[in-house]
Amino acid sequence: MSIFGLPPFGGTLRVGALGIACALLAACGSTVSEAPPTAALSAEQPISPDQPANVIGTGSTRVAMILPLGASGNAALAAQALRNAAELAMEESGGADLQIIVKDDGGNSQGAQGAAQQAADEGARAIIGPLFAHTVAAAGQVARSRSLPLVGFSTDTNVATQGVYLLSFLPETDVERVVRYAAAHGKRSFIALLPENAYGSVVEAAFREAVPAAGGRIVGIERYATDKPNYADAARRLAAAAQAADAVFLPDAADVVPQLAQALTAAGVDLKRMQLMGTGLWDDPKMAASPSLAGGIYAAPDPNGYRAFAQRYRARYGREPVRTAALAHDAVSLMAAIVKSQGPGGISDQAIQSPAGFSGVDGIFRFKSDGTNQRGLAIMQVQPGGARVLEPAPRSFSAGAGL
């Protein structure tokens, strides 16, 4: 496991993260020649058992973490897992002079705004969280007015901006990576069959930008309704364009993609001569059950990093983490590394936007000045026995690293 270094700084679970991405969507920078430095783990330093429940760590540098602990249903369960992961990161931080103050926003904008204001008044140097787009937006307004960097977990890039960073998995990164890989391996003409929802709109915009940037051309795009799906009609509308295509993009979940492939085949599209492509929603063992999808490719983190994190989490808490828990671990590790290398005053936009990036649970990542992120993803290939790594994730943001 790598701890972040600022000069000095996983299957169905991935589906869960991108499922949250679909639900929450309401609506490459400079390169360097070296990999982000990493440091070995020190021995665990358990949190004192008599600490208040809303405090993690005993350091003097305060960072707030805003989570929907008081919300209903799955949001509260996810929030508790994020808090646990933050605690685990502190135990693994090697004695950073850091204290995480956990605040509950109740899952609503007013709560997020109030929590951010409290954090600023209490001397927080930065804010981690919240989880949802509307709560990140509300907390971000306060954070920017008080010049506090915020690292949130929403997948909605509409709420990202200078000083308000998103650490989540962004669909745009998946699209860019898989399109660039396909183009680098000779694919030039692309078609897409997309869901008529917010996620479909995001990946369509990314697809329209990524294909020409990679030297390809889009010869056809069709969309299908998700409330009463009629894949056959959309497939028939796309069939003519498919004759001139050598790659087809199907960015939907594992229970839908086989039906899309079947509809295209029934419409006369020869999928055997085309490269099937998807997003991280394909990172699901169910994809292996459909022979027609074998050979399809998608972008996702190398699974080994998350497996190691999940194993440590299970050993500590006796249960499986939610997929987004890794983001909380990385956000706390990031803050701890900055404080250790640069002191409390080092937590700044400049430090967070380090072009060398950081190495976390799911590989390398870095933040752009607009608040979005860039991740180093692997290219995975669907196989009958389960997905395999077709091209490893890059280990640095150097030129030619496969990003």
Domain membership flag for residue 391: no
Q: Please choose, from the candidates 8, 6, 14, the residue with its C-alpha nearest in 3D space to the C-alpha of residue 380.
A: 14
Count other C-beta atoms under 10 Å from residue 400's C-beta. Answer: 8
Q: What's the 3-state SS for 8-65?
A: CCCCHHHHHHHHHHHHHCCCCCCCCCCCCCCECCCCCCCCCCCCCCCEECCCCEEEEE
Helix (H) or strand (E) holding 101: strand 98-104
Domain membership flag for residue 389: no
Count other C-beta atoms under 10 Å from residue 195's C-beta. Answer: 23
Count other C-beta atoms under 10 Å from residue 209's C-beta. Answer: 14
344 with 283, same domain?
Answer: no
Residue 295 backbone zone (phi > 0: left; psi -120 to 50: alpha; other: beta): left
Give the pLDDT means over successive 10-residue stretches in the chain (403 positions). Answer: 32 39 34 31 36 84 97 95 97 92 97 98 97 98 97 96 96 96 98 96 97 98 91 96 97 96 97 97 93 96 94 97 96 94 92 93 96 96 94 84 55
Q: How many domains does the chain have?
A: 2
Are 59 and 339 spatial neighbours (Cβ–Cβ below 8 Å)?
A: yes
d(CA 95, CA 124): 19
Looking at 300, 324, 352, the residue that finishes a domain is 300
153 with 277, same domain?
Answer: no
246 with 265, same domain?
Answer: yes
Note the pLDDT of residue 398.
Answer: 77
101 with 233, same domain?
Answer: no
Give the CATH number of the domain where residue 337 resides: 3.40.50.2300
Domain membership flag for residue 208: yes
164 with 25, same domain?
Answer: yes
Note the pLDDT of residue 52.
Answer: 61
Domain membership flag for residue 392: no
18 with 165, same domain?
Answer: yes
90 with 69, same domain?
Answer: yes
DSSP per residue, 212-254: HHTT-EEEEEEEE-SSS--HHHHHHHHHHHHTT-SEEE--S-T
191 with 264, same domain?
Answer: yes
72 with 25, same domain?
Answer: yes
d(CA 20, CA 373): 17
Domain membership flag for residue 379: no
Question: Which amino acid is present at 224?
Answer: Y
161 with 180, same domain?
Answer: no
Token representation of residue 3: 């701890």
Question: Which amino acid is present at 301?
Answer: P
Domain membership flag for residue 395: no
pTM (two decimals): 0.83
Are 300 and 280 spatial neighbours (Cβ–Cβ below 8 Å)?
A: yes
**Is the torsion defined by CA of 124, 130, 135, 140 positive or negative?**
positive
d(CA 265, CA 236): 10
110 with 190, same domain?
Answer: no
Looking at 275, 300, 325, the residue that finishes a domain is 300
Residues 6+ apart with CB under 8 A from 25: 133, 155, 156, 198, 199, 202
Note the pLDDT of residue 1.
Answer: 33
Question: Which amino acid is present at 46?
Answer: P
Domain membership flag for residue 358: yes
Domain membership flag for residue 213: yes
Q: Which domain holds residue 18?
A: 12-169+304-371
